[in-house]
Structure 1
Amino acid sequence: MSNKRVLITGVGGVGVFAAHLVAALPGVDLYLGDIRENFIKHKACCIKDNAMWSNHEKPYPNVTPVVMDLMDVELTTAQLREIKPDVVIHLASLLAAGKIRTSVPLEIAKTIYDANPVGTGLRPWAPGHAVLLVNLMKSLHAAGLEETKVINGSGCDFLHVALKSRGLAPTCGLGDFALGEPALKRIIARKYGVEQSDIRIHLAGHHSLIMPLMFVGTNQNIPYYIDVAVLGRNVTEELDFENDIFPQMIDENTWPAEAGLADQEQTAAHGVAIARAILFDTNEVMNVPAPQGLPGCYPARVNASGVEVIVPEGTSLEEMVKVNEAGNVSEGFKEIREDGTMIATDLTVEIIERTFGIEWKYKAFTPDNALEAFKEINVAFNRFVEDYHANNP
């Protein structure tokens, strides 16, 4: 039997960690897709070298660097036809999120990145995530690889909604609100004196929740759904999330300020856990962002067929979607229309126009004009950073 094939597109802060984890999976060939030829050649060697010591008696991994330019749909289509990946973990983006949060003082950066009402949310930066994701999905379809499972780490909670009606929504996302599950399990395990493995947590919530939870210990009035069982007994009603559990998450934060925004092992691990469940048809239940073209995170069953939302007793799919649609608003999306048009909230528009001194043309954008929308906001941001440092030497 031939090996399964995993392609990682974008070997940056998350992609490097994901690559090492995928290389440890038995019977899986790894392809590293990135525009930086020299970088991925050496990174492939690094992964193989590390595996020699860490993959104890497991097969030595096959790791192939592939110079990929996702701006070139025709070339990418040809490369995908040759690779024939079973799973793509998509992490490439025109947007460097770390640049936004490190180019200016944190208090300023928060106003153009953090969720409403503190800041704009990710809506201004969504076009930077959209461009390469749309190109990847178009290339997979053109290559006849519609059955390839795509786990998207670039703006999944909102972009999948916009791409659903076009038949271009990836299988699911990764990270986002699901990244809160390990911290929640550690806190609840201490409370009940049990092992983390004794706890089952179902989550519905949006990316806009995770940073305030981890950094501030509050949900900032952003809606969420959490259902908890300990040793098979539902204890949800016994837990005071907002006054007890959430404040403890600050001490469980996996993103210490001094580590920088590239400290994203947990994001990579979650994505690879989803990939593993698909590759090995484990049929396990996980918390997964943006399955089935939906906004935000849901409990879902993951197997070789893909990712299917499960609805816990006591709630409904409609209620969980409503929670996540509210999360989209906190992320700066007033509305995502059926045709894929993504419209910014009034607050997000006001902050962007006041901060950058522009009349924001692409306050509404679609997957079709995402590149133009990205160029507009990127030019405005770079000019703002230059002016700030010129005036604050």
Structure 2
Amino acid sequence: MRKIMIIGAGDLGRRVCGELAHRDRRWEVRLVGRTEDALQRDVNLIRFSALQQGCRSRVDYALTDLDDVARTAEVIAEFAPDVVFLAASLQSWWVITTLPAERFQRLYAANFGPWLPMHLVPVHKAMRAVRAAGSQAVVVNAAYPDVVHPVLATAGLAPHVGIGNVANNVPALRHSAGTILGTDPADVDVRLVTHHYVSHRLSRTTDISPTQLRIAILAEGRDALPDIGLSRLLKPLTTEYRRTGGMAGQAMTAASAMSVLVPLLEQREAVVHAPGPLGLPGGYPVAVGSGPVRLALPSGMTEQEAVDVNRSGQVEDGVRAIGDDGTVLFEESTMDVMRRELGYDCTTMPLSEAEDRARELGTRFARYRENGSVGRV
């Protein structure tokens, strides 16, 4: 019986746990969090609702705090999962969308890169626990894999693959191409290479630089993109194919997670889209489920070309470079926004300083959310 451990019992972790329970497979699913009463209630809701629909799920829970690496390692070793899904973050991406509109728009201009410490810290601790447990599980991470993974790769601690980001627009691209070609979207295959920065904007603008995106549209055995044209392909994503965002939009992220997790659990090879595979920056088409995770790039594209495309988007997201020792250099223009809005200033961050930076950033954002003030904390 294949086993999966979900570390992080927030909105995404609960959604994925529920999706797995409703698949009526003989998987063992363990949801891991910090608060027993909430975990017990969530797990009961998941397994009872699954049973109501005739699904024989095996779902339970365990307690740990990622700050306690030794305890987390014990929890992992005791369960011995085949797959670990990390759904833990100190501040989920959607939190800033709950700000008053004007304040949100000002802070949104900083892009996602400056928020890296909030995602890097819990994943770093989880990966230390995975190693301490001696686990051979495939580790799949949901927290900003585009940048978290290449940073942790410098310490030999990168998860195997991420979820979300690049994958979230692929269904809309298949619909767009299928409509133009007059074929079922299910018969259209996509190979998309792009960073979080670009994938996040595909539903907002068609003004995407060719240096930040590479895509092939495979239909009837050939690449149909030259016939369609990139602008024509992308435009419907900003109009009739726009989808709900914010927390409700996590349904798409959960679906992207399932596209990776199910083949891994079934040991069935599938070509999917995922960020941060093999510790690389940005997002790629990848083959998972049978053997090691590997790239499945558009025909004729080299790994270096794909990495270059993603590094171009990484700079736009606010991360200028990642050093060989894991030190992150942030873009000055994005940090200007953080200084102005939060009073937060971090142009260079060694991995060893990430936790202190996360703590400072969280405190400053809490004050900003409460009254919009900046200054010393």
Structure 1 gap segments, 5+ residues each: 114-118
Structure 2 residue aligned with 1:116:
none
Post-superposition Cα deviations, 1:98-117, rounded to whole Å, max 9, x if no partner, equal: 32121232x4323423xxxx
Once residues 316 and 92 of structure 1 are traced to their aligned partners in structure 2, the CA distance between those partners, rounded to angstroms, is 32
Task: Give the C-alpha shift of residue 216 in structure 1.
Answer: 4.0
Post-superposition Cα deviations, 1:283-313, rounded to whole Å, max 9, x if no partner, equal: 1212221101001111211124331112332
Post-superposition Cα deviations, 1:84-108, rounded to whole Å, max 9, x if no partner, equal: 1111111111113232121232x43
2:355 matched to 1:371? yes
Structure 1 residue aligned with 2:275:
289
Task: Give the C-alpha shift of residue 218 in structure 1.
Answer: 4.3
Structure 2 residue aligned with 1:166:
155
2:209 matched to 1:231? no
Once residues 103 and 208 of structure 2 are traced to their aligned partners in structure 1, the CA distance between those partners, rounded to angstroms, is 21
Structure 1 residue aligned with 2:322:
336
2:98 matched to 1:112? no
Secondary structure, aligned partner of 1:33? strand
Once residues 345 and 99 of structure 1 are traced to their aligned partners in structure 2, the CA distance between those partners, rounded to angstroms, is 22
2:292 matched to 1:299? no
Task: Give the C-alpha shift of residue 217 in structure 1.
Answer: 4.8
Post-superposition Cα deviations, 1:181-214, rounded to whole Å, max 9, x if no partner, equal: 0001111111111111211110100111122212
Q: Is the 8 A contact 1:279 1:304 kept in 2?
A: no
Once residues 247 and 111 of structure 1 are traced to their aligned partners in structure 2, the CA distance between those partners, rounded to angstroms, is 26
Secondary structure, aligned partner of 1:31? strand
Are residues 170 and 346 of structure 1, via their aligned partners in 2, closer, same or farther at CA, if it must alter by over 3 Å? Answer: same
Structure 2 gap segments, 5+ residues each: none
Structure 2 residue aligned with 1:246:
234
- What code does the residue aligned with 2:298 have? P
Segment of structure 1 superposing worse, 321-330 or 303-312: 303-312
TM-score by length of 2: 0.93
Structure 1 residue aligned with 2:201:
212
2:244 matched to 1:255? yes
Once residues 273 and 96 of structure 1 are traced to their aligned partners in structure 2, the CA distance between those partners, rounded to angstroms, is 21
2:5 matched to 1:19? no
Alignment identity in percent? 27
Task: Report how many aligned residue pairs link the two structures.
Answer: 372
Equivalent of 1:382 in 352, 361, 366: 366
Structure 1 residue aligned with 2:119:
129
Task: Give the C-alpha shift of residue 150 in structure 1.
Answer: 0.9
Are residues 268 and 306 of structure 1, via their aligned partners in 2, closer, same or farther at CA, if it must alter by over 3 Å? Answer: farther
Are residues 92 and 310 of structure 1, via their aligned partners in 2, closer, same or farther at CA, if it must alter by over 3 Å? Answer: same
Once residues 92 and 247 of structure 2 are traced to their aligned partners in structure 1, the CA distance between those partners, rounded to angstroms, is 10
Aligned-residue RMSD, C-alpha:
1.9
**Runs of 4+ displaced beyond 4 Å:** none
Are residues 96 and 301 of structure 1, via their aligned partners in 2, closer, same or farther at CA, if it must alter by over 3 Å? Answer: closer
Secondary structure, aligned partner of 2:249? coil
TM-score by length of 1: 0.90
Once residues 100 and 361 of structure 2 are traced to their aligned partners in structure 1, the CA distance between those partners, rounded to angstroms, is 16
Structure 2 residue aligned with 1:41:
40
Once residues 382 and 222 of structure 1 are traced to their aligned partners in structure 2, the CA distance between those partners, rounded to angstroms, is 37
Once residues 173 and 297 of structure 2 are traced to their aligned partners in structure 1, the CA distance between those partners, rounded to angstroms, is 20
Q: Is the 8 A contact 1:217 1:248 kept in 2?
A: no
Structure 2 residue aligned with 1:183:
172
Once residues 321 and 242 of structure 2 are traced to their aligned partners in structure 1, the CA distance between those partners, rounded to angstroms, is 31
